[in-house]
């Protein structure tokens, strides 16, 4: 649906609608399929591949190893497939094995049992088993032997929370006219009194993070534009950009911690948000966010979270959550929970029109690393949505048609780190009216939300 075009300085990109003449169909009618014109996949192709899989598994009792397989093919039985399983502990494989041969007929379901290892309760450990169906040579034309044609993942019991230990050490608190500084050992957190945001979080000379603005809007997707989401997003974008600090308070907590509580009011008293920063003796920082809508005539926000900036020295991101490709509330079936790692510069997808990209759902923790200096780990009080991009997030914001190209999205300035308690799904049942909005269960409700994020330095030898 497009051809290569070139910028004046010779950079190549996919041409958009109006660049080829009048475009009565609108600005999002080009490049709206599952592939780029050169057949490189968009992330949504992986979702189609997963939900259309000819082999599916369900669990009758995962802990006991009792499962069922469903053959969705019309004619072929499952004798042309090999099956295997892997058990992961917090994303790391600890056991694997083969599934006994299955010959399930077309359109049939068959039970089977796996001899899974016994997993004694272990605080802080999450166990998942992934079962896969792989094609044998010659089973499916053009599909190589070993290619995964279907998989599913199941929890093995309910995780036991990790033991809570009280860090040793003491946090000092120092207030000046313009800042509040918390220090624990070599770690320091500085809060700007005027904005209520993190001016600096560092260990020694290694800068780790700044910002932390409450964030309720996103760079509009093609679906957001097609379903008239721009008007609904506008007030949340304004509130994300303009906040009034109603109060800021610093206090010591016990003998080892100190906290700074910032209360914001936004949108003519339409929303209140509280950010509470608590530094502990080991240099870690808990950030508790509390979102409270005060007017019921507001549209649903597209996200509720924080936006940070990290130094560009961070080049690699590792996360324990869904991946490896981007995924959202209503498009994450194809993204397995695992321990994933990649270059931060590779986390965005080059859509024809710049837009929201790169989010990972159900993230337990995310670590930024780079040049051998101190790294940064982020972990929530529950699985959150997280994103690390090698450029300012604002680069993805909607522009006039034809004025912003995919080739304009390049690493520069800083790493954007976005953490959301909730983010709206992508929708897309239609792309021309409100019926294309995400289904209600995938939207962010206009209701109070509380969540906590922990920042922790990752020290290098």
User: What are the helix (H) ranges across 28-184?
Assistant: 43-51
Question: Of all residues in the chain, what percent are helix, strand and coil, respectively (each to 5)?
Answer: 10, 45, 45
Length, in residues, of the chain: 461
The confidence band for 281, taking pLDDT boundaries of 50, 70 and 90, is very high
The confidence band for 26, taking pLDDT boundaries of 50, 70 and 90, is low
Closest CA to 388 of 336, 424, 346, 333: 346
Sketch out the chain's domains with CATH numbers. Answer: 1-40 (no CATH), 51-155 (2.60.40.10), 172-458 (2.70.98.10)
For residue range 145-160, what is the model confidence (pLDDT) as tens digits?
999 999 999 999 999 9
Average pLDDT over residues 193-208: 98
For residue range 349-387, what is the model confidence (pLDDT) as tens digits?
999 889 999 999 999 999 999 888 999 999 999 999 999
- Whether 25 shows a pLDDT value over 70: the answer reads no
Average pLDDT over residues 22-36: 75
- Whether 15 shows a pLDDT value over 90: the answer reads no
Is residue 105 within 8 Å of residue 353, measured between CB atoms? no
Average pLDDT over residues 226-249: 93
Which of 19-23, 139-143, 419-423 shows the lowest per-residue confidence on average (mean pLDDT)?
A: 19-23
Rounded distance between C-alpha atoms, residue 317 and residue 342, angstroms: 6
Closest CA to 237 of 257, 218, 211: 218
Which of 18-32, 65-79, 214-228, 425-439 shows the lowest per-residue confidence on average (mean pLDDT)?
A: 18-32
- Which range, 119-123, 241-245, 333-337, has the best average confidence (pLDDT)? 333-337
User: For residue 297, what are the contacts with CB-CB under 8 A and spacing of at least 6?
Assistant: none
Q: Do strands 244-253 and 206-215 pair parallel, antiparallel, or not at all (unpaired)?
A: unpaired
- Whether 255 shows a pLDDT value over 90: the answer reads no
Is residue 213 within 8 Å of residue 243, measured between CB atoms? yes
Which stretch of DSSP H or E encloses residue 222?
Answer: helix 222-226
Rounded (10°) CA dihedral 233, 439, 362, 62: 180
Model pTM?
0.95
Which of 15-29, 115-129, 242-256, 335-349 shows the lowest per-residue confidence on average (mean pLDDT)?
A: 15-29
Q: State the DSSP string of 58-69.
A: EEEETTTTEEEE
Provide the pLDDT for residue 228: 84
The confidence band for 14, taking pLDDT boundaries of 50, 70 and 90, is confident
Place of tokens 């007929």: 105
Q: State the DSSP string of 223-250.
A: HHHHTTHHHHHHHHHHHHH--EEEEEEE
The confidence band for 409, taking pLDDT boundaries of 50, 70 and 90, is very high
Q: Is 107 exposed, middle or buried (0-12, 13-18, 19+ CB in 10 A)?
A: exposed
Provide the pLDDT for residue 16: 81
| Number of DSSP helices (H) and strands (E) in the chain, helices first | 3, 25
Mean pLDDT of the chain: 95
Provide the pLDDT for residue 71: 99
Partnered with residue 456 across adjacent β-strands are 377
Place of tokens 């929370």: 161
Average pLDDT over residues 394-406: 85
Provide the pLDDT for residue 124: 95
Provide the pLDDT for residue 23: 66
Sign (positive or negative) of CA dihedral 336, 340, 342, 344 = positive
Partnered with residue 214 across adjacent β-strands are 306
Count the neighbouring beta carbons within 10 Å of the beta carbon of residue 70.
Answer: 17
- CA distances 318 to 129, 356, 426, Å, are 21, 20, 24
For residue range 289-315, what is the model confidence (pLDDT) as tens digits?
999 999 999 999 999 999 999 999 999
Helix (H, G, I), strand (E, B) or coil at 6: strand
- Whether 30 shows a pLDDT value over 80: the answer reads no
Rounded distance between C-alpha atoms, residue 299 and residue 81, angstroms: 49
């Amino acid at each position: 649906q497009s051809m290569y075009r070139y910028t004046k300085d010779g950079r190549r990109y996919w041409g958009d609608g109006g660049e080829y003449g009048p475009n009565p169909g609108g600005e999002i009618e080009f490049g709206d399929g599952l592939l780029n014109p050169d057949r490189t996949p968009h992330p949504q192709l992986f979702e189609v591949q997963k939900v259309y899989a000819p082999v599916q598994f369900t669990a009758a009792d995962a802990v006991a190893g009792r499962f069922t397989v469903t053959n969705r093919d019309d004619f072929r039985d499952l004798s042309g497939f090999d099956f295997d399983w892997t058990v992961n502990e917090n994303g790391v494989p600890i056991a694997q094995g083969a599934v006994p041969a299955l010959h399930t007929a077309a359109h049939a379901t068959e039970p089977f049992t796996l001899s899974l290892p016994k997993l004694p309760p272990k605080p802080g450990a999450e166990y998942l088993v992934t079962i896969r169906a792989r094609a044998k040579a010659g089973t499916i034309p053009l599909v190589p032997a070993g290619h995964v044609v279907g998989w599913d993942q199941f929890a093995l019991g309910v995780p036991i929370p990790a033991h809570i230990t009280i860090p040793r050490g003491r946090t000092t608190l120092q207030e000046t006219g313009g800042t509040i500084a918390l220090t624990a050992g070599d770690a320091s957190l500085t809060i700007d009194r005027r904005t209520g945001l993190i001016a600096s979080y560092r260990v020694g000379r290694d800068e780790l993070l700044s910002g932390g603005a409450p964030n309720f809007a996103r760079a509009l997707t093609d679906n957001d534009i097609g379903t008239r989401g721009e008007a609904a997003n506008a007030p949340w974008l304004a509130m994300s950009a303009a906040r009034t600090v109603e109060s800021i308070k610093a206090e010591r907590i016990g003998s080892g911690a100190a906290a700074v509580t910032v209360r914001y009011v936004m949108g003519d008293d339409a929303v209140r948000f509280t950010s509470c920063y608590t530094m502990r003796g080991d240099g870690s920082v808990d950030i508790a966010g509390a979102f409270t809508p005060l007017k019921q005539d507001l549209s649903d926000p597209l996200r509720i979270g924080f936006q940070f900036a990290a130094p560009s020295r961070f080049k690699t991101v590792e996360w324990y959550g869904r991946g490896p490709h981007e995924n959202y509330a209503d498009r994450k079936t194809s993204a397995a929970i695992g321990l994933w790692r990649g270059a931060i510069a590779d986390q965005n997808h080059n859509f024809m029109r710049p837009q929201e990209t790169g989010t990972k759902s159900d993230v337990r923790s995310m670590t930024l690393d780079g040049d051998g200096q101190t790294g940064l780990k982020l972990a929530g009080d529950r699985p959150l949505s997280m994103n690390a991009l090698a450029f300012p997030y604002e680069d993805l914001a909607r522009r006039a048609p034809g004025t912003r190209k995919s080739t304009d999205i390049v690493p520069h300035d800083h790493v954007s780190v976005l953490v959301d308690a909730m983010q709206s799904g992508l929708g897309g049942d239609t792309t021309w009216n409100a019926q294309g909005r995400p289904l209600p269960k995938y939207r962010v409700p206009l209701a109070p939300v509380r969540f906590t994020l922990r920042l922790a330095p990752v020290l290098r030898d």
